Structure 1
Amino acid sequence: MALDGIVIANMVKELNESILGGKINKIAQPENDELLITIKNNKTQYRLLISAGASLPLIYFTQKNKPGPLTAPNFCMLLRKYIGSGKFTKIWQPGLERIIHFEIEHLNEMGDLCRKDLIVEIMGKHSNIIFCDDKGMIIDSIKHVSAQMSSIREVLPGRNYFIPATSEKYDPLIISERDFKASVCTRPMPLAKALYMTLTGISPLIAEEICHRSSLESSQSANSLSESEQTHLYHIFSMLMDNVRTGHFSPLIICNGKEPVEFSSVPLTQYQDFTSLEYTAVSDVLETYYAAKNAITRIRQRSADIRRIVQTALERDYKKYDLQLRQLKDTEKREKYKVYGELINAYGYGLEPGAKKLDALNYYTNEMISIPLDPTMTPQENARKNFDRYNKLKRTCEALQKLTVETKEAIEHLESIRTALDIALSEEDLVQIKEELTQYGYIRRKHAGKKVKITSRPLHFLSGDGYHIYVGKNNFQNEELTFKFASGNDWWFHAKGAPGSHVIVKNPDGGEMPDRTYEEAARLAAHYSANSEAEKTEIDYVQKKHVKKVNGKLPGFVIYHTNYSMLIDSDISEIEQII
């Protein structure tokens, strides 16, 4: 989601608490539409990242330093000239607009105290960073907007700065109940849309949240609400705005498993089935959310070609397997032709030449059956024909029984690779998966004999009772963990009947482990499996000495006996990961 007015209000509060009164120490422009300002305040150094990128406008504090170009861009040089050692005297947000004003005091060439206004507009593709004098005239901006680009407002040096009219939107911080009902509750559109189309700074996410808290359907028409429903909706909305006005924010990220789904500065009751990660600073939320989102997006983009190869091979094998099963089912009638041949040999001596059938007693079932005949053949030739058909179907059945096992194993192998792609966290993980596909002929090796360098390692966790737990991220890692790394007394966990990670709990003393450790290892096995989205997953676990590798089987495929099982969820949020 994009930054809405409430998140901006939270950010303004954080800015005031951190850098108000602080002095600018350094200004850099790492990208064409991005500033990195270093501020010193109360013996603490802050780095403020401001991005006016059309696809991802942002503003937050960061610990990371981004190097700028050798030659600073003109806008950066201008800011250094005027406010290079300026002091923040006021930071504010007009209404609930997605705009932040930084009022900065500085000394001019004559030593006189002057004031400038640095304005950050977080408005999607219209985002900008605008530098104005104390009278509101634009000195320069990081993006120039001419009349040819916008008929609403020019952003050019010498023009007066103003906020463009937001199509008769109301300020949610000051709107009265009467105006709320007259504007929001009279619109012939879905209720959630009426909220964010009528009120400044309210995003679709917050509109949905208001509807959820009000126990109203967001899809119902806003003008269909009864008087009591309108009053209730306003009161819920007003309570939310009271928290914004008083600065009571709750920065958080909503995650589905480990994937971030949404972020907000107010609690999101509509995501009760998801994990909510709470933070003390909205900057941490924004930096964490977009870093995780970018990492997941980057991995998905990099793995797209591998996924396509795996999916194509899977679809081919699914079709092959279905065809083989149908053909195998057809061979079930082979015994019928064997019986036909035997009965023709037994009763065919009395047949007249040219007979088209033989009615005979089946001495296996003691029933009369009718056997079709080829009238151009003798009884002996008809018998031989049925025996030949029986033998052919028998050979086909034997071959198909072997082929279906091989095809099923290939499908399970590809499904395990698909699960490994879902688990992959870095490009190093993809290298190992690609190497596996290459070794088994799904990808052609470009450089014959060249050994691929593998740097990916299994995941490492520490149980609440201090036991080290290791999780394989692909078949090669599973193989190495189970048969090279684990010792006989270690415990082995795996999702039952589903592709997934081998989980090893190191147990050097060989003693009984606490129940909590078994449960944490089982949760990891459930989370890193194809059943990670299931409410409960059945996990098999056994000491490693009972896990065997079958010669000739694919990597990661094992057999085991005398195992234990448990049903458990896949929530691993409280298990400590060691990086």
Structure 2
Amino acid sequence: MIPWAPHCCQDTGPLVHCNCWPRAGPESGPRGTGATEEEPPMGFDATVLAAVVDELDRHLRGGRIHKVYQPTPWELHLLVYAGREHLRLLLSCHPQGARLHLTQVVRPNPPHPPTFCMLLRKHLEGGRILAVRQVGRERIAHVEVGALDELGNPATYTLVAEVMGKHSNLVLLAPSGRIIDAARRATEEQNRYREVLPGLPYVPPPPTGKLDPAAVTGEELGQWLARAGVEAMGRPAWQFVLDAVDGLGPLVAREIAHRAGVGGLAGNLGPAELDRLARACRELYALVDSRAFAPTLLLDEAGQPRDFAVVELRHWAGATLPVDSVSALLDRFYAAQEERQRTTALRAELRRVLAQELGRVRRKLQAQLEDLRRAEEAEPLRQKGELLMAYLWQVPRGADRVELPNFYDPEQRPVVIELDPALSPAENAQAYFRRYQKARSGLQAIREQVARSQAELQYLEQVEATLAAAASLPELEEIRAELAAEGYLSEGPAEEKGRGAGARGAAGGRRAGEGLQGSGQPSRPLVVRSSDGLEIWVGRNNRQNETLTFKLAAPTDLWLHAKEIPGAHVILRLPPGVEPPETSLREAALLAAYFSKARLSANVPVDYTLRRHVRKPPGARPGMVLYDHHRTLHVTPDPEREPFLQQALTAAGMAGAAGSDTVPEG
């Protein structure tokens, strides 16, 4: 039994493999209860690994490895030809997604394979998979490969997958049991229980010291509980099962407690309850040992994957989706998880870039407005020059100031004029005229700069509103592609940087990345039908607004937009010569008001006009338009009071959309 080793790996960082965390038993210290023991992500416990190993062994045994890839530092792909088909085995030691299973996902590979990948190719390519097996009840799998060693003799290499959350690793072992290399190396300073370095004997992670789920008895559970101490007595019964029994995850521990009909705290469990828990555990694990798996995806309220299991869960009250195979189950779940992670990361990055650019533009605009104020105050300079020329005979040579009557003032109050003593009175007057001309000549340029900065600020604020309303990864990727096309981000998806100073200050809105197209499938606009059966289109971002208004809408269609508020372009499709029905017009206005920054306001003004009265100014940014011949309708976009709006939001998956600023004329 391994004693608790405090402070041995607290500062090793997220990529260090360490197995000296408390895993033994209740006597191993306060953390030995398992309350803080590292669990695999979601439901990947030993029961899932048993199902995966069973499936892999059946499909891959005897298969030949013809290619090895390492697309990321923590993920391997082994291409195997088995059973007259090409299969792809994924092995991952990612801290949040450690796993192994067959996959349909093909990832791009780096231009130069990592060293670990090259070693795997050297020893495993061309070899045959002899077996895939699980080590006891552990979350450790061995992929045994028969190949030829460096001398051409038959040898068996072992690829070890340790699926243990942030402590996961992939280790290649030589026939002698020594380590050839690992995805994550660990030195003695990083892990005092074992070193994971090339050339050293492989030492498996320390045993858990927990009870065997297939043979556990109520008496053993009682002894464990007695040793666990007061802290364990205050934990829920299912968590006590999780701490005491080997190979279980939280979901299966809850299922055991549910099947045993045991609830409450562990301290209240008597012999009868402990016997029921032990019997439920043995019965459930009998399903695992007999390979009676039922791969199931567990869904949340929105129908998205939330967790997974390979045995029937009677305690799960939410929706479920049976899946044909364990690999398909894991492929689907982790694809959804990765999309959520990418969505979160991309949203955070876009927010950071927008906050940075908004701050830059606001500071620049403030400085320009100050320059404009000074330029507009140039008229007093001309007046002082005129006064000096009119009263030259009253200005003494060498004076530093003079007080003269001000005939520009209706009350003829005198004005004090500052002078340069080194200049004559006439030369001082000319100096004032030169300062006036300089200020006047820069006034128009400053006004143009202010107009450009105000337009850029409006555009960035609109993109910020669009980002807040975006609900899916394709929508975020379109926002990113738009910002890249406008020069705010670099073309590379992993190198999102602000624009250079030259691009920011380019006259006429020159774009550093013009022509860049977003990757992947574009998101689709919202399309609903009004109560009168007319189609209503709603743009979800600036690109969709541009497409709807200028490529898809007919000149006779009705165009709607929240008045002087960032929001979506809305199109009400109308046959030529047909007046819009009042009900359809109001419903389209509700959508325009809701998909804008004023969605929480009452009596939102919505302008509407025929599409032929909407045009894009030359050089304008995406979604920026001018329109005229418009009328205004006021609506309150409250889904609770408007059944049509609620139906439209349901059709949109409750995903908001926002478009771009517009400027009405007249």
| TM-score range for the pair, normalised by the shorter chain length | 0.5 to 0.7
Following superposition of structure 1 onto structure 2, how do residues 8-23 of structure 1 map, counting pairs within 5 Å?
8-23=49-64
Aligned partners of 1:285 and 1:112: how far apart in 2? Answer: 41
Q: Residue 420 of structure 1: which of 458, 469, 477 is its match? A: 469
Aligned partners of 1:213 and 1:556: how far apart in 2? Answer: 66
Following superposition of structure 1 onto structure 2, how do residues 60-75 of structure 1 map, counting pairs within 5 Å?
60=101, 61-68=103-110, 70=112, 73=115, 75=116
SS at match of 1:21: coil
Following superposition of structure 1 onto structure 2, how do residues 454-465 of structure 1 map, counting pairs within 5 Å?
455=517, 459-460=523-524
Matched, 1:105 2:146: yes
Q: Counterpart of 1:447?
A: 505
Kindly state the Cα deviation for residue 40 of structure 1 after the two structures are TM-superposed.
0.9
Once the two structures are superposed, residues 31-50 of structure 1 have per-residue CA deviations (whole angstroms, 9 ceiling, x without a partner) of 44443322111221222232
Matched, 1:222 2:302: no
Once the two structures are superposed, residues 511-569 of structure 1 have per-residue CA deviations (whole angstroms, 9 ceiling, x without a partner) of 9xxxxxxxxx9xx999999999xxxxxxxxxx9989999xxx99899988799843447
Give me the CA root mean square deviation: 5.9
Aligned partners of 2:467 and 2:526: how far apart in 1? Answer: 27
SS at match of 2:504: coil
Q: Residue 240 of structure 2: which of 185, 194, 207 is its match? A: 194
Matched, 1:126 2:167: yes
TM-score by length of 1: 0.59
Query: In the alignment, is the contact (CA less than 8 A) between 1:184 and 1:195 conserved in 2?
Result: no
Matched, 1:570 2:615: no
Kindly state the Cα deviation for residue 121 of structure 1 after the two structures are TM-superposed.
0.9
Q: Counterpart of 1:50?
A: 91
Q: Compared with structure 1, are the counterparts of its residues 304 and 148 closer, same or farther at alpha carbon in structure 2 (3 Å cutoff)?
A: same
Query: In the alignment, is the contact (CA less than 8 A) between 1:478 and 1:502 conserved in 2?
Result: yes
Q: Residue 288 of structure 2: which of 225, 244, 269 is its match? A: 244
Aligned partners of 2:316 and 2:139: how far apart in 1? Answer: 25
Matched, 1:472 2:539: yes
Once the two structures are superposed, residues 7-37 of structure 1 have per-residue CA deviations (whole angstroms, 9 ceiling, x without a partner) of 3223223312321210111234444444332
Query: In the alignment, is the contact (CA less than 8 A) between 1:461 and 1:468 conserved in 2?
Result: no
Once the two structures are superposed, residues 292-314 of structure 1 have per-residue CA deviations (whole angstroms, 9 ceiling, x without a partner) of 133213312322326758999xx
Query: In the alignment, is the contact (CA less than 8 A) between 2:298 and 2:318 conserved in 1?
Result: no
Q: Compared with structure 1, are the counterparts of its residues 415 and 33 closer, same or farther at alpha carbon in structure 2 (3 Å cutoff)?
A: closer
Aligned partners of 1:264 and 1:531: how far apart in 2? Answer: 44
Q: Counterpart of 1:398?
A: none
Query: In the alignment, is the contact (CA less than 8 A) between 2:71 and 2:110 conserved in 1?
Result: yes
Q: Residue 124 of structure 2: which of 80, 83, 100 is its match? A: 83
Q: Counterpart of 1:305?
A: 352
Query: In the alignment, is the contact (CA less than 8 A) between 1:419 and 1:530 conserved in 2?
Result: no
Aligned partners of 1:20 and 1:139: how far apart in 2? Answer: 23
Q: Counterpart of 1:4?
A: 45
Q: Compared with structure 1, are the counterparts of its residues 306 and 28 closer, same or farther at alpha carbon in structure 2 (3 Å cutoff)?
A: closer
SS at match of 1:46: strand
Query: In the alignment, is the contact (CA less than 8 A) between 1:421 and 1:430 conserved in 2?
Result: no
Q: Residue 291 of structure 1: which of 338, 347, 360 is its match? A: 338
SS at match of 2:524: strand
Q: Compared with structure 1, are the counterparts of its residues 34 and 531 closer, same or farther at alpha carbon in structure 2 (3 Å cutoff)?
A: farther
Once the two structures are superposed, residues 245-301 of structure 1 have per-residue CA deviations (whole angstroms, 9 ceiling, x without a partner) of 324132426356486544444566777557868564234235513431332133123
Query: In the alignment, is the contact (CA less than 8 A) between 2:549 and 2:571 conserved in 1?
Result: yes
Kindly state the Cα deviation for residue 93 of structure 1 after the two structures are TM-superposed.
0.8
Aligned partners of 1:32 and 1:547: how far apart in 2? Answer: 55
SS at match of 2:55: helix
Matched, 1:204 2:283: no
Q: Compared with structure 1, are the counterparts of its residues 4 and 482 closer, same or farther at alpha carbon in structure 2 (3 Å cutoff)?
A: farther
Kindly state the Cα deviation for residue 102 of structure 1 after the two structures are TM-superposed.
1.1
Equivalent pairs, count? 460
Query: In the alignment, is the contact (CA less than 8 A) between 1:254 and 1:275 conserved in 2?
Result: yes
SS at match of 2:123: helix
TM-score by length of 2: 0.52
Query: In the alignment, is the contact (CA less than 8 A) between 2:97 and 2:334 conserved in 1?
Result: no
Kindly state the Cα deviation for residue 103 of structure 1 after the two structures are TM-superposed.
1.8
Kindly state the Cα deviation for residue 476 of structure 1 after the two structures are TM-superposed.
6.2
Identity of aligned residues (%): 28
Q: Residue 154 of structure 1: which of 172, 195, 198 is its match? A: 195
Query: In the alignment, is the contact (CA less than 8 A) between 2:258 and 2:315 conserved in 1?
Result: yes
Aligned partners of 2:593 and 2:248: how far apart in 1? Answer: 38
Q: Compared with structure 1, are the counterparts of its residues 77 and 547 closer, same or farther at alpha carbon in structure 2 (3 Å cutoff)?
A: closer
Aligned partners of 1:214 and 1:507: how far apart in 2? Answer: 64
Aligned partners of 1:464 and 1:493: how far apart in 2? Answer: 15
Equivalent AA in structure 2 for residue 188 of structure 1: M
Aligned partners of 2:336 and 2:552: how far apart in 1? Answer: 35
